[in-house]
Structures are given as C-alpha cells and as structure tokens.
Amino acid sequence: MAGSLAASAFFPGPGSSPAASARSSKNAAVTGELPENLSVRGIVAKPNPPPAAMQVKAQAQTLPKVNGTKVNLKTVKPDMEETVPHSAPKTFYNQLPDWSMLLAAITTIFLAAEKQWTLLDWKPKKPDMLVDTFGFGRIIQDGMVFRQNFMIRSYEIGADRTASIETLMNHLQETALNHVRTAGLLGDGFGATPEMSKRNLIWVVSKIQLLVEQYPAWGDMVQVDTWVAAAGKNGMRRDWHVRDYNSGRTILRATSVWVMMHKKTRRLSKMPDEVRAEIGPYFNDRSAITEEQSEKLAKTGNKVGDDATEQFIRKGLTPRWGDLDVNQHVNNVKYIGWILEVSAPISVLEKHELASMTLDYRKECGRDSVLQSLTTVSGECTSIGADKQASAIQCDHLLQLESGADIVKAHTEWRPKRSHAAAENA
C-alpha cells in the first residue's frame, strides 16, 4: 500500500492536472493528511462519496510515507471497518492435504467396523449372551453362569508339557473374581460385594474338591464355566466345569465352599441379609461334582503320622511376599504348591499325575508364619469301575504351623501318567 501511495504521488491518474497534484502534495506535506478528493491509490475520487456501507478504512501497523513524510489515511465514517484477508502464496506444501484428518477418519471407520463385526459374530449364535469386549468373560444361560476362555501359555506348563494343577486352580480363581466383576457386585475387597465391604467382610475358602480327567497342553484353549449356590445358612458354594474349547471334553470339575470373615478381627461371621439379597439372585442349584462322585473322593483323614509305607516331612517353610493376596494372607492356591511340590515324593511326581484332590482349610496363614509340610503315601489302590481309571496311589497331606496349629489338610489320589493324546482318546 505504501508503494501505491508513492507511485500515485509521481504518476497521477488521468483527469488530474500537474498543478492539482502539486497543490495536493504541498497540503499533505503541511498537514500530514491526504486531500479529500484523493483516494488511497492516488486516483482522484468522484465528488459524490460512495454509500456508507461501501466505505473502507485501511489500517496498517506503520504509517505510510509519501516523499519522506508520514501520512494518515482517513475516511468519512471511521466506525465502518472491513478486514482485508491476506492470502498466502500457493506453494506445493500448502496444497498438500491434511493427513491428520485423513488418518482420524480412517481410524474411526475401522473402529466402527470392528464393533459391528463383534456384535454380528456373537448375537446370532447366542442371543442371551452378554458380549465382553475386554476379554473378562461373559454371562450366559440367563445370567446364571459365567464363562471365560484361557490359552495355556508356555510358562504354565511343566516338564511333561502339560499345564500344572496350580495353573488350572489359578484359572478357577480368576473366573470367580471376574464373575463378581461382570455381575456388577465387586466392592473394595478381593471378590467382596459392596454390602460386604461396608461391613469389613471378606470371603475365605473352607473346602475344595476337584476331579481332573485330563491336563491341557501348551497352546490348548480351555473354557471355564462357573456359578454359585447356597451352602447352608452362612456359606456359599462355587462350582467350576473346565472343558477343552475345541473338543468340548471335560478337563476338570471342582466345587468349593466359602464363608465370611471379618477383615479386622479375623473371625468368621454370619452372612448378613443384605449380602444374601445381593448374591441370592445368582444362585444356581446345578452341581459340578455329584454326590456320588463326592462320596468316592476320600476325605481328608488322620493317616498322617500313622504307620504307612512312606512319610515325607519338610520344615521351615515361610511365605514370600508374592504368596500373599490383597486380604493379607497366603493365597489358597499357594498351599497346593507347598503340599504337592515340597513334601510329595519325587517318584510320585515323575510317574503319576494328580487325579483328584480334597482340601480342608482350617486356619489362615500370614506373612510371618513358619510352617511344615507332611505327606504320607498309603500305597497303591485297586482299579474301580469299568473304565479302570482309578488312582494308583493315595496320599494324605498336612500343612501346619511349627507351633502345631493345622493350616490345611488334604487327600490326593494319583494315577499313572498318560500322554496328551492318550488322555484325549480315553
């Protein structure tokens, strides 16, 4: 704009005389203002001014100069302003598309397609099933059963390339907690409901029974179903049924009894009516282990310390920090490792596999406890039933504090090891 003013001073437009231009320049030099009949471009304006809506006020950061003198630009009505947009020169960089907007649009399309695919994949098969997008499992059978799948990882198998009993027990515990979470009943505690959390109550396991038909191998997918039922007036029963995901064959059946304990006093408590009202609608009378099967499972006896074929004792066991759960006591699955891996004879572990187990939990174990594990092998058993799959060895186990208090009593039955293929054929 300053260039246009300077050019207009030396090159007046048509219709203007040199004398008029000289007089205009002289007045501008004296007053610092342009004549009223001189436009911004140095062209003589018409006598009649344009309408007020069409007038423009030009603003600049620095005052333009004409012949070395600062000038001010004025219009008739200064209250009417119009901003003249500045357009950057067109270059190759400016003409490139906005890639961030393009990527955002593509991501939105893929997420929407994935969501629709998930819904279409499950709804037609089982309409009563709640799809779980985050992999925590899902509710099936009108909300009465919770189901979750697990892949057997390389770090969950033993020397024989099959999953250990501790791996399977961890799957049972995980599905139990995820069942409570998915049902919307998870409070502040380890599987405790909101009403339990208000009263400082937690769940503790009292008894577990399980039957193992076969052990999954590395890479197998297992499907775990779990549900709950009433166990007396103050207890809750939780059952599990574990199957092979592809073949549908049973891998494990288990049942357990849980009672409530006060978190601060560490004493057993009755089940409040408010808690029963929370979990009551989810009770299912179905049993994973029938009464007949339960009767065949030998009870945890008092054979430990009696005359037997062999006895094995391991003393000085202390819990590690990783053995504790959020309730500040040793997790129930850790007891199984102490019982089977510590005191069981290596000859049994090498040539046999666990077929059944019954555990009675008598007392909790804390971080500072010192324990000893005792195992008695009662010898071989005869085959029972047409399938000839009875256990070959029976063992009784006792885990107790060195002071003498019993922590866990257990009875296990073992059968000769079978290959993974032979177990599937059986």
Active-site choice (365, 395, 397, 411): 365
pLDDT at 327: 79
Q: Is 365 a catalytic site residue?
A: yes
For the chain, which ranges sit under pLDDT 70? 1-98, 115-136, 189, 296, 298-309, 379-391, 419-426
pTM for the complete prediction?
A: 0.65
140 CB neighbour count, 10 Å cutoff = 16
Residue 258, sorted as left (phi over 0), alpha (psi -120 to 50) or beta, turns out to be beta
Cite the residue boundaries of each domain of the chain with CATH code 3.10.129.10: 123-294, 308-381+390-420
Following DSSP, what letter does each residue of 126-142 receive, concatenated? -TTPPP-TTSS-EEETT
What is the CATH number that goes with domain 308-381+390-420? 3.10.129.10
Reading the block at residue 248, the tokens are: 């549908």
pLDDT at 20: 46
Reading the block at residue 419, the tokens are: 């290959």
pLDDT at 197: 93
Phi, psi of 76 (to 5 degrees): -70, -45
pLDDT at 119: 55
Active-site choice (329, 352, 397, 411): 329
Q: Is 329 a catalytic site residue?
A: yes
Return mean pLDDT, the chain. Answer: 76
pLDDT in tens, 20-71: 444 444 444 444 444 444 444 444 444 555 444 444 444 444 555 545 555 4
d(CA 275, CA 202): 11
Q: Would you identify the CATH topology of the domain 123-294?
A: Thiol Ester Dehydrase; Chain A (3.10.129)
Phi, psi of 310 (to 5 degrees): -145, 150
Closest CA to 205 of 342, 355, 394, 410: 410
Active-site choice (178, 179, 241, 327): 327
pLDDT in tens, 311-340: 888 888 888 888 888 878 888 888 888 888
What single DSSP character describes residue 75?
-
pLDDT at 99: 73
